[in-house]
Every structure is written in C-alpha cells, then in structure tokens.
Structure 1
Amino acid sequence: MPNRLHRIVAASLLGGALTTAIACGTGELRIPPARRLVIYSGARIDPPQERMDEVYHWVSEQWDSISRDPAFWIETTATEGPVYPWEDLEVILNPQQDTAIVTYQGPPGMNIQPRRAFVIYAHLHLMAALDRLDRWLPDAAGSDEFAMEQAILARTAESWLYQRSVLDAPPNGILDELMFVAESGYLDAFVLTARPDEFVEARRAWGAANPERTDAYIGWFRETFERNPPGLRGGSGGG
C-alpha cells in the first residue's frame, strides 16, 4: 500500500537530519563533521565540510517545501528487490492533487534512509512536470530531457552523500552506485548505459562526441563495484 508523504510525515523523514545541526559558540548552526566514505574495492569519497553544509541547507529547504506545500503529494511504495529511482516512477498531474509515486527497496511503512533519497528524486521530477524546477535546479530548468535527468540524479546522489557522510546512513547498493558515479563524473555514461531505450537523440550526439567514454565508464564501474553496470547485467535492479 502506498505511503503518502506530506506535511507532518515529510517533516520527520530526515530522521533527525533537520535537527543534527548543532550550535557553536557564535550561535551559528553547524552540522556534524562529514566523514570519509570507503567501499570494499577501496574507492573513496572525502566530501568537504563546506559542501555538506550547503547540502544541509538545500535539503532542509526542499523537505520543508515537501512537508508544507498543499498542491502536491509524494507517494512511496516499498518492494523487496533492488530498484533504481526511475524504474517505477509515475507522475500524475491532476487538478485535484498533483502526485508523484516512486518505488524503493525496503519494508513497507518503514521510514528508512534510502526512501528519503528516492523522495527527493520523485519531487524533482514532479516539479519539472509542473514547470517549477527552476526553484530547485535553475540551471536544469528548460534543458533537454537528458541534461535534466542528469541534474536530478546528481541532486539525488548528493542528498544520499549527505546522509551517508553526515548522518551515518548504512550502505545501499543502488544509491551508493549513484553516489560514486556522480562523484566520479560518469553520470552521462551511467544514464545512457542503464537506460538504452531512452534519450535517443542525446545518445547519438553524445556517442559521436565521446567515442571512448562508454568503455572507460564500464571499466571504471567494474573496478569500483566488481560487477557490470546497470544495463549490462541480467535480472532486476536496472537490467
């Protein structure tokens, strides 16, 4: 059964993220120190504290909008297997209630941390459909679908980086992939490889301009995660 995410529910979704800021001697609010992230292959991310401070502010603002704006709903549906944010996303524009529905991996009804990143993704897509993306991603508003998708995924990945580095969220295979891909500059190849039937014109232009980038990305992904990237493997969770 879908979980409706709005107002009071949304305000609690950061699981303490909105209250992790601590007061320093000057009365300013500071978030806890960001920690280095290292995965089994040895790949690592060491996010600067200043960057995580900035992410805290936009995450807080976005969640405040999700919790207070009466014009839309975000619904989440839990599933047992791994799923990428775009795989089961539905955006419904309705005069009564504009809605985005997104599926995440986890127990039904549980406010697990990966769910929050999926809600960020769904919210940004709903804002794009409503021509309101300029508030959250001004550089992506009005861009083509491929560029907009990269921008939305980059923001989703950054929200997960904040949760992993500052809030000590446990690893999540799907979101950790997205996070390391974004931090390594391979979002373009990641999107085109994982979603071979989409972005046809952008794919053609990108392939002509970057003839060796797909092979470089595949090699990097295999070295980092010790498996094929989504789009080149069978089963669920991105093909």
Structure 2
Amino acid sequence: MRKIILDTETTGLDFRTGDRLVEIGCVEMIGRQLSGVRFHRYLNPEREVPPGATAIHGLTTEFLADKPKFAEIVDEFMDFVRGAEIIIHNAAFDVGFLNNELALLQKERIEQLSHSVTDTLRMAREMRPGKKNNLNALCSEFGIDNASRTLHGALLDAELLAEVYLAMTRGQNSLTMDFAAPAASMTTTGISERPPLKVLRASEAELADHARVLADIGKESKGKCLWRLS
C-alpha cells in the first residue's frame, strides 16, 4: 500500500484557541521503499506566530507573510494523501490541526481522505513502555542520524519518521513469499543438494539485551511474558 509519512508545524498547541498550521511536510513510501516524492509547503497562518512557537520551529510571521494560505494548496494536499495510509507521530495532534483547516473550507476530514491513519507514538509506547518515545529518543534507539535536527521542521521530521517507522516495523514482511522469484535451488532433475547451514549464535551482549527486553515485558505484563524461559 502507498504510505504517506506526514508532519506539521503550527503556531501553537491548540487549534480550538485559534492556532493554525504553518508547515506541512510529507514523504511517500511505496511498499517499504521511499519513492523520492514529497509534498512540502510553508503556510501563511493568517495570524501572528508567537515567539514560543518560533523558538521551536524557527518560522516567523515575517517569513510566512508571502507564503500561500492553506486554502490555496488544499486541493493539491488532498490529492497527495487521498487513499494512502498516513503515518504520523502523535497523530491526534496533527490530525486535529489538519481537520480544523479542512473544516474551515468545508472539505473532507483526514479520516475520509485516507485509507487509514497510523500513530507511531502509540506503536512506540507499546514497544517501549515507560521510556521516552519522542522522535529524538527513537532516532537514538534505532541508530538514525538526526544531527541536523536543531529545530523542528515538518519535512525533516517526516523523513526521520520514515526511517524510524521502517526500523520499528522491520521483519513484518518476513513471512511474505515471493512466488515470482526464480527457484534458485531447482535443477532440471529436481532440487539440488542443499549446502550446509551456517549456525549463527547470539553473542553474550545480545543475550544480555534479550534478557533485558524480556524482563521489561515481564514487568509490564505483571509476569505474563510468554517468551520467558522457566
């Protein structure tokens, strides 16, 4: 399925008190590969950008003054995300702002436009209970270089989130069979002799990490971890 990894920046924390979008950044993923197709727009929020918001994303009222209003790019945005699975970190925040902008123009809600919305914050909390699960913490966890993230930015954060999402979901396709692939082990007379299997044993460090993860799961599940050895 086509996936859109999406992030926004805003004038504040609550659209219900008049805060608006100032930036939308999206990257497209086909299967598990980034396609290189992006959607990125700075937006004139039609109001002042408070200094506190500027301190987070670096966008000022003056910089955004000549940028398009959401109404000017709404159709292009809707076409870009329509029918896709949308992946967002802390989806309730971004979806709330996007639906507010869409409602002001009497357009469809994100839930109607998209196939589905996946919240990677919720995924991370299930995978890493009790730990920090903001984007910086997840980049550190999965070894993703975020050195250029000195300020929040919708496009940069969407690109980082795409890498985080791939790391978090690694292995989910391991049971998928590719019936179009050539059978390399077949010969004209049948199955060729299979070479000896190479056994890879876990290192002491890997065993320790495994035990730590199981202990965390056991603690979170109150001793009901199915993978703990008796």
- The TM-score normalised by the length of structure 2 is 0.26
For normalisation by structure 1, the TM-score amounts to 0.25
Q: Which has the larger radius of gyration?
A: 2
Q: Which structure: greater helix fraction?
A: 1
Higher strand share: 2
